């Protein structure tokens, strides 16, 4: 997702995910980078956001009405983008299934995070990070979690540290969150991730009712018992990577 604000020369680059052929989920902060939004361009089926193929303009965007942004507090960080995809291009898109089951508070799950955000390699590529994710009170390390977020830590210190807005967190091939903030709980001033870096995501189950207002096909609440609630660190990330390789050409977009 590339958002151009009035008075800015370069667009803000975020990541989003199709939940239908008509709607994209992303972060509200993509549209909060100073000045009114002049244009929102969607690029899909790409690995590099500088690619010019498969490009369309958004019809409209809707930020959460209770979106709040302060230096280290970003709440209700979710937005919808309405698009009209030409019929001949729909084959380039894979709609992602959203996880409509509540997260068992004390379980941890192996997940994959995707994003075009700013990173330590300073490139424009889509990056994938493997994470151990949690939803409980202490999930976000040095920042208390109020259950509106999911937080994850890489299994190992990643080669590339990505600070993304709106990129999906996928667990068992379903979207559970959108990239919200990179939390550095270790030594301040570091420009790379370390063992005390947490990736924080807006928890989609907390916003099911809001999404349903605009996308009637979206469940308006999450189901209490998850059939995969017993999944722990033994989950098969290799299987997820293999699935991702097959999906890569059609799934994600730069907004």
Q: What is the largest CA-CA distance in the chain?
A: 50
Q: What is the CATH number of domain 108-204?
A: 2.40.10.10
Question: Per-residue pLDDT tens for 15-69?
Answer: 999 999 999 999 999 998 777 888 898 988 878 888 777 889 999 999 999 999 8
Asked, colleague to colleague, whether 2-92 and 108-204 share their fold, the answer is yes
Per-residue pLDDT in tens (0 to 9) along the chain, 255 residues = 788 776 677 888 899 999 999 999 999 999 987 778 888 989 888 788 887 778 899 999 999 999 998 876 799 999 999 999 999 989 888 899 999 999 987 789 999 999 887 777 778 888 888 999 999 999 999 998 988 999 998 877 766 677 889 999 999 999 999 999 988 887 655 556 777 889 999 999 999 999 999 999 999 999 986 555 444 434 444 444 444 444 444 445 555
Q: The domain at 2-92 falls in which architecture?
A: Beta Barrel (2.40)
Reported pTM: 0.85
Q: Which residues pair with 74 in a beta bridge?
A: 69
Question: Per-residue pLDDT tens for 173-186?
Answer: 999 999 999 888 87
Residue 253 token pair: 């977009």
Domain residue ranges of the chain, discontinuous segments joined by + = 2-92, 108-204
């Amino acid at each position: 997702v590339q958002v151009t604000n009035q008075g800015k020369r370069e667009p803000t680059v975020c990541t989003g995910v199709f939940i239908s052929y008509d709607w994209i989920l992303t972060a509200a902060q993509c549209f909060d980078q100073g000045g009114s939004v002049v244009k929102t361009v969607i690029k899909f089926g790409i690995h590099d956001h500088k690619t010019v193929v498969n490009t369309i303009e958004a019809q409209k965007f809707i930020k959460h009405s209770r979106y709040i942004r302060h230096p280290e507090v970003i709440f209700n960080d979710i937005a919808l983008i309405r698009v009209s995809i030409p019929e001949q291009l729909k084959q380039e898109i894979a709609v992602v299934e959203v996880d409509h089951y509540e997260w068992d508070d004390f379980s941890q799950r192996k997940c994959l995070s995707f994003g075009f955000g700013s990173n330590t390699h300073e490139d424009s590529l889509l990056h994938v990070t493997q994470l151990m994710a949690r939803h409980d009170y202490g999930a976000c390390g040095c920042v208390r979690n109020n259950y509106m977020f999911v937080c994850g830590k890489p299994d190992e210190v990643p080669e590339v540290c990505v600070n993304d807005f709106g990129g999906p967190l996928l667990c068992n091939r379903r979207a559970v969150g959108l990239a919200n903030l990179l939390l550095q709980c270790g030594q301040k001033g570091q420009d790379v991730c370390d063992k005390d870096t947490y990736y924080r995501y807006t928890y989609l189950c907390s916003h099911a009712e809001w999404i349903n207002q605009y996308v009637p096909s979206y469940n308006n609440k999450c189901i209490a018992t998850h059939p995969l609630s017993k999944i722990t660190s033994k989950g098969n990330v290799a299987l997820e990577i293999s699935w991702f390789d097959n999906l890569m050409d059609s799934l994600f977009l730069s907004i």
